[in-house]
Structures are given as structure tokens and as C-alpha cells.
Structure 1
């Protein structure tokens, strides 16, 4: 009987050892993935001159369908290892030593990934009270965020409020109804140029670009409204171009990314998208209510000019609200002090790193043994990240920052916007010619069309992208 018990204990111990060997294989497998991912991201960043690691870790770490969580969170594996160690109770056993070594190696391999997660602003549950994100909470100004979102909303209303009546306006000025496409599109063309100087301007201030934007939009809408009494299509187009030159959407986006704390940044970004979609729907809808005509001091107010008058008043009120309520972010003062300290030693690393991106596309990702990076060189990653986020100074430098995948996405986005703008610009002409719709019917149709943007984005963003690969 004693012999049977001894053999059973021996067999049980061997079974535990076999479990330990499987556990070692699993730990080594996770360690291999963590090490491989770390080295691939480091080599990618070096060869392409672009800090892709931040984006990759940020977008994958907390995604419900991402396998990166297996690299970040090994609490279960460590717990299993500790339980196995307690069950075997054999000090000095080779399997125990192998398990402990594998656990230590995995912890070392993933420590850099944890650092990358924190560096990419992935907030952990045990973030200390004195962290940098809490400093952002103190300097965060809710009213300034609201002013940015209102600017986004008003601009989209301004863009689409003239769509139902632009064809009638062009006819009243002696032009063809199809000229409405030029009237509507001129604002978007001017926006291409405004996005450049507003992006550069936002490196130094947010308040002044928003003030300039409001003044330009007020002036542009005023000219748009006066063009009817002046009987000038040129004044009408100048007014729309001024509106496009006042587009501060680049400032609105950057304010959210730079000045809003991480814990509400997602909500703020959703607010930006919602404000744009609601403005796109409210613009034509508001035009449907402006079906009246009267004259005050030789100034004509009708369905064609009222959108200009209404938006002029709206931008004037917004300018007053902005002037008294907006708070400039504190980091501009700190950045100015740092820039003054660096005037004696200008750096060209940002330009060089941007120029390396396109060159990296033609070079192998894996380096030779003489060029391999030292695994202990992660201390320089913080400086590399700062240089990779420096603003582009020209169209050429901005283009070089784009990877082929991003270029394809931008092309697709351009084609979608192209098709949508054709539909919107000529909707009043087509519906009048083929279906005899009046202005109110066109306005309701476009408002309903604009209201479909949010639910479609929610379905695609929350469900479809989780079922299928992006490509």
C-alpha cells in the first residue's frame, strides 16, 4: 500500500513537471512576441523617421479585438506561475527555476511596452495624483472647448445654409442656375489655403486665429448678403471666398488634441464630429425657414440674402462671446520660454526626420548586424517622440510624413467628399428641374440627409470595423 502511494505521488509530481514545461513554453512564446513587437516598432521608427509606435500602441492597446492586450497584461500568467510554484513545493527543481527565469524575462521584455503605453498617454488605473494628466485637468478650460465646438458648428451651418437657394441667387444676378456649384465650391477652395496658415498660426496661439476667423466669416457673409442689392456676382463670390479663408477647423481639431485632458478627449472628439454633422443638417434646415421677403432702407431681405444676414449676426455674436470668454492655453507661455532658451542652438532634427520618411520606404526595415540598435537605448525614445510631433512647415514636408496607407485613405476621403459635394451643390437644380420641388422641399431633403451622418458613422465605427479588416 505504501509502495502504491509512493508511485502515485511520483506520477503526480511528474504530471506537475509536465505542466511546468508547458507553462515555460507559453511564457517564452509571450516573451518572444513582446520582444519581437518591441524591436519591429523601434526599427520602423528609425528607418522611416516617423514615430509610428505611439499611434500603434494607442490604437491597439485597449481595443476589444486587439491581441496586443496579451503583451500588456500578463497578470493571469504571473498568477498561474505563482500558483504552480506553491503547488510543486520543490526548491531547486529545474522546472521551478525555468518558470522563474521565464517570468523575469517576460517582465523585463514587457517593461518597455508598458513605458510606451504610458508615453502614448494610455492612462492606467493607478495613475498617481501628481501626474501630468492632472496638471492638464487644472489648466483645462471648458468654455474654450465649447467655443471651439460652436465655431465648428457655425462654420458647417455657414457652408450649407446657402445650398437650397444658391441657384435662385445666381439666376437673380443674371447667371445660370448651375453657377451655384461655383458659389458653393469657392468656399471649400479657399479653405485649402486657410488650413495652411491656420495650422501654422495655432503653433503660437488659439485665440487670435479664432478672432481672425470670426472677422473673416462676418465680412464674407455681409458681402454675400449685399451682393443682391449691388447686383454683383463678383461681390457674391468674394464673400464666399472670405468665408472659406476664415475656416478654423484646423485650429478646432488641434485644440482638442493639445488642450483637452485625456479622460474626456474622446468625448471632445465625438463632440467635434457631432457639431460638424449637426451643422451640416441645420444649415439647409434653417434656410427652409427663411422663406420671406421685405425691405429695410433699400436693403433687400429674401430667401437668397437672409442666409448671409443671419450668419453675419451669428458670427458677430460669437466674436463677442469669444473675446470675453476664451482662455489661451498655458503651454504657449512655456513653449515661448523654451524657444527663447534654444535660440542660440537651433536644431534641424525635425526637418531631417521628416525628410527620412520617404527615403525609408525604399530601404529595408531590417538592418545589418553592424547597424543593429542596442536594446538598452530606449531612454532616447522620449526625445524622438517630441521631434516627430513637430509641425510640418510646407506642403512638401507634410506630404513626406504620409505613409502609403494614409495616402490611400486620403484619396478615398477625397473621392467621397467629391461625390457628396456634387450631390449637395446641384441638388436644388436637379430637384427643381426633374421633380418641381420648391426651396422648402429641398431644404428638408438636405437636412434629413445631413442627419444620417451620425448614425452611419456610429454603425461603421462601432460595428462594421470590428467585423472586417480596414482594407
Structure 2
């Protein structure tokens, strides 16, 4: 892996080199400050003041050059506008073509300018992170708070487009008018839904969206998959080896994701009845549902490691284990054994190949469609979550064949066993194993443009020790010209090394992810027991309620991804969503007598929807504050977030079962108390690291 400083220099436009952030100089200053403080010749207050002034000068240099280039582009567009007006009076096809190319040339130069701003934005985030890491100051918090919110903030002009929109609008309108519209007099303002008329405009829009953190539905949905992209932007699109990609293989991965989520939630409406039919308490449903998550904690690790060598073999193993697990789950009724039931669910959890599904998208899907594939991964999960309970609601029958019982308790197992058998045959016949490059694990596949940003936002030792002379991003503190040792730049090779890369900001994001998954699991897993006790709901009613909750996932993401995320910062949405989850939990408590259906439904819907919004922005921020070393390898960011979510489900289901010993009448309030406590803790932690989420 190339050190960041060298990579930054390689990506610079040669004729603009003097206007980029001087990352090398600032890194050397950080080293000098460390030496001066160690010798006692400098105090912290002077260091903060001097570094702030230097950073202000660097940002001012960038902003003034940006404004100068915008002025030049505006002048060129004005000259072209005069030519455009002349052509409207005396049309000339050859000159129209020349004018169109001239406008495209301006668009390409504007795209170069946007890449210039984006590279500087990444450099600024990384130097702030480096300062915090070296000295243990909360400098990023101070700098962002004092600069970003100031009315004359130059920092905001680097991270937000200033005047770019007017240039894009002029280019888009003129290129639109120069197209052959077959006599149409409509402009882009009359038809805003028309597709952008030129590839250069599409590229500019994508660059602006990245720079401003603007997003759309597909992008917002794709963030849920935590599949990271290239750290530094390039003016020219990087070509991905399309030979490694196969559409049918991608489809099989998405089908695996869908079926696994159906398998997870299809038993939720009937788990309490099944437990009681085997002589256990209704609240043992917590263990029955959670057994799958317990096994998934371990399966996520070995499937992630297995995917370093193959995708086909782990998917085959997953299908076979899930087939066997569902058969055991269904046979437990006639064997009258709760242990067979639990063994079946454990086997289902051991077949969780979500790590393989995610790795296939990140490793084998071309960049140009990776966002759509990531969104497909999340959509398949959401659809499976809704279809599982809905399917359970349809399986209301009771008959026997050769002493084997088929009823609402066992049919989910038989149906899923048949589904996995069909999937296994389809997989065996059509999956294409992608070619492998040597030492693929040591090669960075992708990382987010802001992936290493703000990694060290809170307390660290005053000066790092000699053993820690190397950054996790591959830069050496003592010499820019040297390469960092290979082990310091490669992916984390163990859970311990991955944990050491977790900064306070990342830990807070993982805590939030744990909280939202815990709250959602409490709501979903105990829904059958709670609604039966308070409202005497049938299995079909519970199934409809859970299916309706699952169906809110995509509409909520449409609203957030298309509108809300473009109106507010991710950290603002994050904090607001946490507060809404907290309100949903508070409204769910059984304080008012009697406990009513509207109270339960409304509070559950509020909690679930807020948690869905929270998941998207949480993973978006997590991808930006997480180390690039966690974007690849076995112990990657996706695995860590999966483990955090799975552990939350395990703890939640265990809580339900343990609380059941105190009686069903106390189950609701007792299980909600930990949710409330963790939610409040996450809100406090978010406020503490708020300015580091920039």
C-alpha cells in the first residue's frame, strides 16, 4: 500500500501543485511540535495557536485558488454564451458541434477543479486526525467548532461547493439547448425529470454530491452495506477487471441474503407457540430466535476468512448447513425435543454467509455498478425481513404425512429447507468462481473518500512511543520519503489488531449500531408474546404487524436518502434519530393502564423507523471515521459492524428469556429498561464526539 503522502502527490494535477494543501510540511510541523514539547521549549497553548494559524493559511490558499478558477470558468462560459446567442440567429450545424465540445471542455475543467477540492478535503481531515493522534488534544473538535460554524468560514468552502452550482447549471442548460430536441422548446427547468444530457454533467454531479455529502436513495441505501470505496478521487475513472464479475453470481449472492433473512424472521410469529408445544415457557422463544444469532457471531468470522480463498465453496456449505438446520427445526415437533429445536437454529446461524455476500460485492463487482449492488444487498435483506413473518402468517394449516406433522410451527422449517435445496441446485449449476489475484488480501480493494478521516478524536498519550511510530494509514511520522513497514499498512490480521484501530469516534458508532439492533430485536422477538398477553392477537395478526414494519424499510430510505440527507448533515440526522428511538422506547413502557393497541403499534413503529434511519447514517459516518486498514481483509469494518449487530441480537434475546422468569406481566418493562439505558448512553457519547464526526 502506498503511503498517503505519496498517493496524495501522485493524484495532484501538476500545474496546480503549489495550491494543494502542503501535507508533507504540516506533518513535519507536527513532528517538530512533538520534539519541542518533549524538550520543554514549547507549551501546548502555543502549539494549538500556531498549528491553527498554519491550517487557516493552507485553507485560505485553497479557497482563493478555487474562487480564481471559478471566475475563469465563468468567463469562458460567458464567451461561449455570446457564441451561442449568435448561433440562435444564424444556425450552423458544424459550429453547434464545436460549441458543444467547447462547453464539454469547460465541464471537464470544472471536474478537475472538483477533484482538486476533494483531494484537499481528504488531506485536511487526515492532518487533523494526525494531530489529534500525536498529541491527544481534541483539536479536531475545537477547530471544527470554531471554524465550520463561523459565518465567514473558509473551512466550509472547502467541504461545501461554493459557486459550483451556478457553473453546473449554466453548462447543463446550454448543453441541453444544443441537443437535437426535434423542435422541442422545453428547457431543463421545464423538464427537471429528464436525464442529464451529457456524461460530463453526470460526472460533475457525482463529484459535487461526494464533496457535499449529498446523496440519493440508492446511495443512502447502499451505505447500509458498509462497502467502502476509493480513498482519494481520480479525474479519470479507474477500470475494474470486469472478468471477475458475473451477473448470475451476484444474483445468487443477493438470493442468499434474501433467503437468510426470510429464514431468520419466519419463525418469529410462532416461536412462542412452538416452545410451549415442547413443554417450555413462551419466553423461551428468546433463546430459540437468538440461537441463530449466537452461531452467527462465530460463522461471520470463518466465512469472512473463507471468502479470502473462495466464494463458491462457502456458499455451498452455507446452503447445506441451512438445509439441515431447518429440517431439524421442523422435526423437533414430532421428536418432542426443545434441544433438537435449538440445534436446528444453531445450524441455521452457522450457515450465515452474509460476510461472503458483502465481500463478493466489494471484491468482484465493478465500481460503476457497485452502489446499485450494495443497495440490492440491503434491499434483499429488507425484503426478506418483511417476507419472513408474512410467509409465516400464510402457513396456517395442520396435517400429517407418514407421522410427520405439518402445522404453523413446523411448516416454516420445511418451507425453508425446500427453498435452500432449490437454491443449492441453482448455485451448483450457475455460480462462476471469480479469478483470484496473488496476495489479494494485502491489496486494498476500496476505501471511502473520507475513510481515514478523524480517526483519533479523543484522548491519546501526549507523545507516541517508539513502537507506535507508524500511522495506521501508512504514513511514517518521522520521514515522508520512506515506506511504512508492510504489517503497519496491511489489513488487520486479528480481532485484537482490528480493535486497536478503533478510535473513540468509531467505538461510538459501533455502540450506536449495537443499541439500534438491540432495540429492534427486543421489539421484534417479544412481539408475539407481548401481543398475545395484552391484546390476544393471533399468529396471523402478529405476522401482519411484523411484515408491515419490514415494509417500511424501503419507503423510509427513499425519504431520508432523497430529501432529509440532502437538507441536514449526517451527524445531525444521527443525533435526531437517536432521540426519536429513545422517545419510541419511552412510549412503549406499560405505565398507563390499560395498555392499548394504538400505544404499542405507534411506539413500535416510531422506534423501528427511527432505528432504520439511524442505521443508514450511522454506517455512513462509520465508513468515514474508520481506518482504511479496516476496509479490506478478514477482520474488516463490515465484519466488525456485523459482529456488533449480531451480539446485540444475542444479548436482546437472552434478556427476553431471562426476564420471562419474572412473569409475562413484567416482561415488557424489564426488557425495555436496558434499551433505554443503552440509548441514553449512546446519545451522551454522540454529543461527546459530535465535532469529530465531520
TM-score category of the 2 structures, normalised to the smaller one: 0.5 to 0.7
Unaligned runs of 5+ in 2: 1-59, 70-115, 135-155, 168-228, 444-454, 470-475, 572-689
User: Which residue number corresponds to residue 402 of structure 1?
Assistant: 502
Secondary structure, in 3 states, of the residue corresponding to 1:271?
A: helix
C-alpha offsets along residues 84-118 of structure 1, whole Å, 9 cap, x if unaligned? xxxxxxxxxxxxxxxxxxxxxxxxxxxxxxxxxx9
1:432 match: 532
Q: Name the structure 1 match of 2:65.
A: 27
- Show the counterpart of 2:279: 174
Conservation of the 8 A alpha-carbon contact between 1:121 and 1:262: no
Q: TM (normalized to structure 2)? A: 0.47
Aligned counterparts of 1:205 and 1:231: Cα–Cα separation in 2: 39
Return the offset for 1:413.
1.1
Structure 1 358/69 Cα, relative in aligned 2: closer, same or farther at 3 Å? closer
- Is the CA contact (8 Å cut-off) linking 2:393 and 2:543 kept in structure 1? yes
Task: Determine whether 1:120 maps to 2:242.
Answer: no
Aligned in 2, Cα 1:294/1:403: closer, same or farther, shift over 3 Å? same
- Summarize deviations over 1:32-73 as a string: whole Å, max 9, x none: 987796376368579969xxxxxxxxxxxxxxx9844769x9
1:453 to 1:40, Cα distance in 2 relative to 1, 3 A: closer
What do residues 423-455 of structure 1 show as CA deviations (whole Å, max 9, x unaligned)? 111111111111111111111110001111122
Secondary structure of the residue that 2:400 maps to in structure 1?
strand
Instruction: Tell me which of 252, 261, 286 is aligned to 2:366.
Output: 261
The offset of 1:235, in angstroms, is 0.3
Q: How far is the alpha carbon of 1:29 from its aligned partner?
A: 8.5
8 Å contact 1:147–1:326 — kept in the other structure? Answer: yes
Matches within 5 A, 1:194-205: 194-205=299-310
Specify the alignment match of 1:53 in structure 2: none
Whether 1:362 aligns to 2:435 is no
In 2, Cα distance between equivalents of 1:166 and 1:302 = 13
Matches within 5 A, 1:66-77: 67-68=158-159
Instruction: Please say if residues 221 and 240 of structure 1, whose CA atoms lie closer than 8 Å, have aligned partners that are also in contact.
Output: yes
1:457 Cα shift? 2.6
| d(CA) in 2 for partners of 1:260, 1:121 | 19
SS at match of 1:132: coil
CA distance in 2, matches of 1:303, 1:66: 60
1:246 to 334, 351, 374: 351
Q: Secondary structure at 1:270's aligned position in 2? A: helix
Q: Is the 1:200–1:393 contact (alpha carbons within 8 Å) kept by the matching residues of 2? A: no
2:526 and 2:61 map into 1 onto residues whose CA distance is 66
- Equivalent residue number for residue 544 of structure 2: 444
Q: Indicate how the Cα distance of structure 1 residues 373 and 244 shifts in structure 2: closer, same or farther if over 3 A, else same.
A: same
Q: Give 1 or 2 for the bigger CA radius of gyration.
A: 1
Greater shift in the superposed pair: 136-145 or 40-49: 40-49
Give runs of aligned pairs for residues 180-199 of structure 1, distance below 5 A: 180-199=285-304
Report 1:85-234 matches (<5 A): 120=231, 122=233, 124=235, 127=237, 132-133=239-240, 136-234=241-339
Q: What root-mean-square deviation, in Å, do the aligned CA atoms of Structure 1 and Structure 2 show?
A: 4.0
1:307 to 412, 433, 439: 412
Matched-pair contact (CA < 8 Å) for 2:457–2:505: no
Shift in Å, 1:217: 0.6
Among 544, 566, 570, the alignment partner of 1:466 is 566
Unaligned runs of 5+ in 1: 1-21, 50-64, 77-117, 340-355
Maintained 8 Å contact 1:288/1:444: yes
CA distance change for structure 1 residues 142 and 23 in 2, over 3 Å: closer, same or farther? closer
Give the count of matched residue pairs.
363
Per the TM alignment, residue 393 of structure 1 is displaced from its structure 2 partner at its CA by 3.0
Cα distance in 2, alignment partners of residues 303 and 24 from structure 1: 66
The C-alpha deviation readout for 1:243-280, integer Å capped at 9, x for no partner, is 01111111111111111000100000000110000000
How much does 1:120 deviate? 3.5
Deviation at 1:226, TM superposition (A): 0.3
Change (3 A) 1:37 1:275: closer
Normalising to structure 1: TM-score of the pair?
0.68
Distance 1:166 1:338, change over 3 A: closer
The answer for the alignment partner of 1:38 in structure 2 is 123
Q: Distance in 1 between matches of 2:532 and 2:334?
A: 25
SS at match of 2:396: coil
